Each structure stands twice: as C-alpha cells, then as structure tokens.
Amino acid sequence: MSFLVSSIWKDLRRWKQDRLAIVIWLGIPLMIGGLITALFESDSAAKPQGVLLIADLDDTLLSGLVSGAYSQGELGDMILVEKTSAEEGAARINAGEASGFLTIPSGFTAAFLDGRPVTLELKTNPSQIILPGIITDVTEILLDAGFYVRELFGAEIDQVLNAGGTTPASDALVASIAVAVQNKIESAAPLLFPPAIDLEIADPTDDTPQVPIALLFLPGMVLMALMFSANGLAGDYWAERERGTLRRLVCTPRRLFEFIAGKALAAGIVITLVGFITLVLGFLYHGISWSKMPPAALWIALSGVALFAWFGALQMLTRTRGAANLLTSMLLFPLLMVGGSFFPFAALPESIANIGRRTPNGFIVDRLTTELTGASTWVIDSQSWLLLGLMAASGLVICGWRLGSGFARG
C-alpha cells in the first residue's frame, strides 16, 4: 500500500507542474458549451429580416393593398417593404441590396377588374435562401386569392363596371349587387368558416416537462473535458518510459499492479476535478437539483479511470510516441462527434444516435444524461455501473500486460 500511495503522489506532483494542460482540457469544452448554450437559450433570438423593393407603376387602391400585404403581422417583422422606381429597384436587386424586387405594372387594377391576364414581375436575390422563398410564396398566395375573388364575384364586378358613368347607380342596382355578394358569401361560408379540411393538433398526453435543448449539451461537454484530459494523461506512460522508470519497474513484478493502479487513481483524481468543475458550472447555470451531484460526480470519476485506462492501452499498443498520439487523435474526434459531445443524441438521426450510444463515451454520455434529466436521483441502473467498472478493469489489465510484455523495455 505504501508503494501505491507513493505512486499516486508521484504522478500528482508531476502533473501539478503542467497547469496549462489542465486549463486547456477544461477551457475548450467550456468555451464550446458556452457558445452553444448562448445560441440555444438567447432570449432575443434574431429573426431573419430582408428588404422587398416594390415599384408600383399602377398606383391604385388595389395595387396599394398588394404592397401592404407584405408588411402585415409577423411577416412585417421579417420583411421591410420599400417603394422605389423601376430603374432604382432593378439596380439595387442586381447589386444584391434586397431580398426581392416586385414590379406592379401600369393597368394592373383595370386588367384585374376586366378579367384580363396581368403579370407581376418578381426578381429575387439568388445569394439568399429563406426570405426570397417567403416572398415568392406570399406573392403566389396573393395571386391565387385574386384569381378566386375574381371568379367568385366576377358577375358583380362586371355589373359595377357596366353601371359606371356620369349617372350614379340606382339604389335597386346597389341592393341587388349587395344581396348577390351576400348570398355567395353565405354559400361559401360552410367551406371556409371553418375550412372544409380541419387540422386538429392533439396535445401530448405525457405531462413530463420538456428538457431544454441547451441542457442536453451538458453531458457531452463534460465528457469532452474527460476525453481530452484522459488522452493527455495517458501519454504519461511514454514520459515514464523515456525516463527509464518503466525499465526499473518491471524488475519488481509484484509492484507492477500497484504502479498501474496508482497511476490510474492519480489520473482519476485529475480527470474528476476537471469534470467536476464543468458539472458545477452546468448545475449552476441550468438550475439542476444538487441532489443529483453525488451520483453524477461518482459516475464521471469512474468514467475518468475507464477512459484513462483505455487511452493508456492504446498508447502502449504502438511502437513510437508519435504513432501513439496520431492513433488517439484519429479516434478522439470521431468519437466525440458520434458520441454526443458536439450534438446531443436527441438532435441526431436515430440510426446515428444508436451507433453513438454504443461507443464507450456515448454510453457514458447517455447514462449521465439520464441521471441529470431524470425525475429522481440515482437513476443509472446497476448494470451500467457494472459495465463501466468492467471497462475500467479490462483497460488496466491490458496496460499491465503491455508493460510486462515489452513496452517498458522499448
């Protein structure tokens, strides 16, 4: 036991000198997590806003209604309508200074009332995607609405036009037109109010509160810190080998296990400290119940030992330190990508999420997410604890085997 304690303190004193590495292991996940949290929990989410230029060459009441339709309700928050001339509008849309440019031709109202074809010219900005599409859809809806209004009330419109002139329309004519319009509205009302096709959105029967998306990023950020620190600390096997420590160690085989256990426990302390700081900041920001801290902290402590053991095993399976760093780096970032550190499993396609949950770090992230978002504490099942313990033990066994089979001697 004295050798085990000495091994732990030896590594802790050595690693204490490299404070910058610990800051980097902690800083990168915190920076990424902070940016993601700010993105998803911003109180003032920015809406896309663009400019629609309208050249109203008709300048009538009907053309004014068309122009005003683009600035109604929530659409007005996204689209700023500016009246302009045809020449200026063409120049600005060609220069990419607007999302769209609509030209209402002269004679638009007369053509609409007479039932003659009329063309509205709309140019959109190809460098934008969302707003030009919205403007195009709204324009098509307006044209469809105008067509159906003309089809439905065409006879009454023609009566009004034919009754024009210097002599005012008689009261009987006005009354007959009003009655005809009213009758058509009443006949169409059963289809329009409410619509013949009714969309019913059922409320979810599950009363479980929805987990904020920003909170789902927290377990992945914690595991990112654990992965960086475990990989960095595992490289210490090469430092021990280059100093000749491992060659002297293999001459005392009884202490081989104590050396490996001491290094793993020392690494577990450092990794747990890094993960614990990340957890505390996440608990404070998201308001997570502190009763969940003990199981979460214990889970990341055991996870840190397991990750260190396997990164150490991978380091010792190669012939050179450069190859070891290359191998672990090639594995590290794909595992972070698919294992829920950059994107939570809830945001991934189910096929990719299922693969991610089967990776070592994905398994840890999935269980930590369950613990942090569960309704109670200590929700991680005993089988998961056993699997994590077996992962740590198997990694340490491989490390011991490599130390005793030639890695220490080079």
DSSP string computed for 104-137: E-TTHHHHHHHT-----EEEE-TT-SHHHHHHHH
Query: If we measure between CA atoms, which residue out of 112, 218, 194 comes closest to residue 158?
Result: 112
In this predicted structure, what is the pLDDT of residue 188?
A: 61
Q: Are residues 109 and 217 in the same domain?
A: no
Q: Are residues 29 and 73 in the same domain?
A: no
pLDDT in tens, 55-86: 999 888 888 888 888 887 777 778 888 999 99
CATH code of the domain in which 64 resides = 3.40.1710.10
Inside any domain, residue 399: yes
Q: Are residues 262 and 317 in the same domain?
A: yes
- Backbone dihedral region of 105: left (phi > 0), alpha (psi from -120 to 50 degrees) or beta? beta
Largest CA distance in the chain: 120
Inside any domain, residue 318: yes
C-alpha pair distances (Å), 291 with each of 177, 288, 296, 371: 74, 9, 9, 11
Q: Are residues 325 and 216 in the same domain?
A: yes
Inside any domain, residue 116: yes
Q: Are residues 276 and 362 in the same domain?
A: yes
In this predicted structure, what is the pLDDT of residue 32?
A: 80
In this predicted structure, what is the pLDDT of residue 185?
A: 64
Residues of the chain predicted below pLDDT 50: 43-45, 166, 197, 199, 201, 204, 208
Q: Are residues 128 and 245 in the same domain?
A: no
Range of the domain at 71: 51-152
In angstroms, how far is CA 181 from the centroid of its own chain?
Answer: 51
Q: What distance in Å separates the CA atoms of residue 203 and residue 264, rounded to the nearest whole number?
A: 51
pTM over 0.75: no
Torsion over CA of 300, 302, 307 and 308, rounded to 10 degrees? 110
Q: Are residues 220 and 326 in the same domain?
A: yes
pLDDT in tens, 303-353: 999 999 999 999 888 888 888 888 888 888 889 888 888 888 887 888 888
Tally of domains within the chain: 2
Inside any domain, residue 248: yes
In this predicted structure, what is the pLDDT of residue 311?
A: 93
Both structure tokens of 165: 């002139």
Q: Are residues 25 and 57 in the same domain?
A: no
DSSP3 helix / strand / coil % (the chain, rounded to 5): 70, 5, 25
Inside any domain, residue 109: yes
In this predicted structure, what is the pLDDT of residue 361?
A: 92
In this predicted structure, what is the pLDDT of residue 201?
A: 47
Looking at 152, 168, 196, the residue that finishes a domain is 152
Q: Are residues 142 and 269 in the same domain?
A: no
Looking at 124, 152, 180, the residue that finishes a domain is 152
90 three-class SS: helix
Looking at 152, 168, 190, the residue that finishes a domain is 152
Inside any domain, residue 162: no
Inside any domain, residue 192: no
Inside any domain, residue 317: yes
Q: Are residues 115 and 253 in the same domain?
A: no
- DSSP H helical ranges for 292-359: 293-316, 321-338, 350-357
Q: Are residues 77 and 97 in the same domain?
A: yes
In this predicted structure, what is the pLDDT of residue 1?
A: 62
Q: Are residues 289 and 253 in the same domain?
A: yes
In this predicted structure, what is the pLDDT of residue 156?
A: 66
